[in-house]
Structure 1
Amino acid sequence: MTIARLFGVALASAAFALPTVGAQAQDKTDVRFVLDWAWQAMHGPFLIALEKGYYSDEGLNVTIDRGFGSGDTINKVASGAYDIGFAEGTGLFKFNKENPDDAVISVLIINDQSPTGAISLKESGINSPADLVGKKISATQNEATVLAWPVVAGLNNIDPASVEFMFVEPNLRDSLVIQGAADATFGFATTTALNFVLAGVDKDDVNYFTLAQFGLNPYSSGIIVRKDFAEANPEVVKGFVAATVKGLQDMLADPAEGLALLKKREPLVDETVEAARWELAQELSILTPSVIERGISEVDPARFETAAKQIATAYGIDVDPKIGDYYDASFLPPAEARAISDDVKAKAAK
Structure 2
Amino acid sequence: MTTTRRMLLAAAGGLLATPRIAGAQGALTPVKFSLDWAFQGPQAPYLLALEKGYYRDEGLAVTIDRGFGAGDVPVKIASGAYEFGVGDISAVARLRLTQPGTDVICPFVLAQGSPLSAITLRRTGIRNPKELEGKRVAAPETDGGRQFFPAFARATGIDTAKINWITVTPQLREPMLARGDADAITGFETSGVFSLLALNVPRADIVVMRYSNFGVALLSTGLQVRKAYAEANPRIVTGMIRAIIRGHLDAARDPDGAIAALVRRDATAPVALEKERLAANFEFIRTPEVLSGGFGNLPMSRVQASIETIRTAFNISATLAAEDFYLPQFLPPAEQLRFPAAAG
Q: TM-score range by the shorter chain?
A: 0.7 to 0.9
- Provide closer, same or farther for how the CA distance between residues 282 and 95 of structure 1 changes in structure 2, counting only shifts above 3 A: same
TM-score (norm 1): 0.82
Residue 48 (structure 2) aligns with: 48
Residue 16 (structure 1) aligns with: none
Q: Is the 8 A contact 1:136 1:163 kept in 2?
A: no
Deviations 1:124-153 (Å, cap 9, x if unpaired)?
565543554665433455854345444334
Question: For 1:114 and 1:230, how far apart are their aligned partners in 2?
Answer: 25
Residue 226 (structure 1) aligns with: 226
Q: Is the 8 A contact 2:218 2:306 kept in 1?
A: yes
Residue 34 (structure 1) aligns with: 34
Say which SS state the counterpart of residue 71 (structure 1) adopts.
coil
Deviations 1:195-230 (Å, cap 9, x if unpaired)?
112223133432313101111121111211001000
**Paired positions, count:** 321
Q: Equivalent residues in 2 for 1:295-310 (5 A)?
A: 295-310=294-309
Residue 206 (structure 2) aligns with: 206
Say which SS state the counterpart of residue 186 (structure 1) adopts.
strand
- Provide closer, same or farther for how the CA distance between residues 144 and 39 of structure 1 changes in structure 2, counting only shifts above 3 A: closer
- Which moved further from structure 2: 25-34 or 188-197? 25-34
Residue 333 (structure 2) aligns with: 334
Question: For 2:83 and 2:160, how far apart are their aligned partners in 1?
Answer: 41
Q: Is the 8 A contact 2:36 2:68 kept in 1?
A: yes
1:93 Cα offset (Å)? 2.1
Residue 315 (structure 1) aligns with: 314
Say which SS state the counterpart of residue 320 (structure 1) adopts.
coil
Question: Are 2:65 and 1:65 aligned?
Answer: yes
Q: Is the 8 A contact 2:97 2:319 kept in 1?
A: no
Q: Equivalent residues in 2 for 1:131-146 (5 A)?
A: 132=132, 135-140=135-140, 144-146=144-146
Deviations 1:231-268 (Å, cap 9, x if unpaired)?
00111111111111111111112111111101011111
1:163 Cα offset (Å)? 5.2
Name the aligned partner's letter for residue 331 of structure 1.
Answer: F
Q: Equivalent residues in 2 for 1:115-264 (5 A)?
A: 115-124=115-124, 126=126, 128-130=128-130, 132=132, 135-140=135-140, 144-146=144-146, 148-156=148-156, 158-161=157-160, 164-170=163-169, 171-264=171-264
Residue 292 (structure 1) aligns with: 291
Q: Is the 8 A contact 2:39 2:262 kept in 1?
A: yes
Name the aligned partner's letter for residue 166 of structure 2.
Answer: F
1:162 Cα offset (Å)? 8.6
TM-score (norm 2): 0.84
- Which moved further from structure 2: 136-145 or 165-174? 136-145
Overall identity of the aligned pairs, in %: 34
Question: For 2:122 and 2:287, how far apart are their aligned partners in 1?
Answer: 25
Residue 109 (structure 1) aligns with: 109
Deviations 1:283-334 (Å, cap 9, x if unpaired)?
2x21222222222242222222122111123234222232112111011112
- Provide closer, same or farther for how the CA distance between residues 132 and 104 of structure 1 changes in structure 2, counting only shifts above 3 A: same
1:159 Cα offset (Å)? 4.3
1:49 Cα offset (Å)? 1.8
Question: For 2:26 and 2:64, how far apart are their aligned partners in 1?
Answer: 17
1:91 Cα offset (Å)? 1.1
Residue 277 (structure 1) aligns with: 277
Unmatched tracts of structure 1, length 5 or more = 1-22
Q: Is the 8 A contact 2:136 2:166 kept in 1?
A: no
Name the aligned partner's letter for residue 341 of structure 1.
Answer: P
Residue 11 (structure 1) aligns with: none
Name the aligned partner's letter for residue 302 of structure 2.
Answer: R
Q: Equivalent residues in 2 for 1:70-109 (5 A)?
A: 70-109=70-109
Q: Is the 8 A contact 2:44 2:262 kept in 1?
A: yes
Superposed CA RMSD: 2.5
Unmatched tracts of structure 2, length 5 or more = 1-21
Say which SS state the counterpart of residue 70 (structure 1) adopts.
coil
Name the aligned partner's letter for residue 321 of structure 1.
Answer: L
Say which SS state the counterpart of residue 102 (structure 1) adopts.
coil
Question: For 2:308 and 2:231, how far apart are their aligned partners in 1?
Answer: 26
Q: Is the 8 A contact 1:110 1:297 kept in 2?
A: no
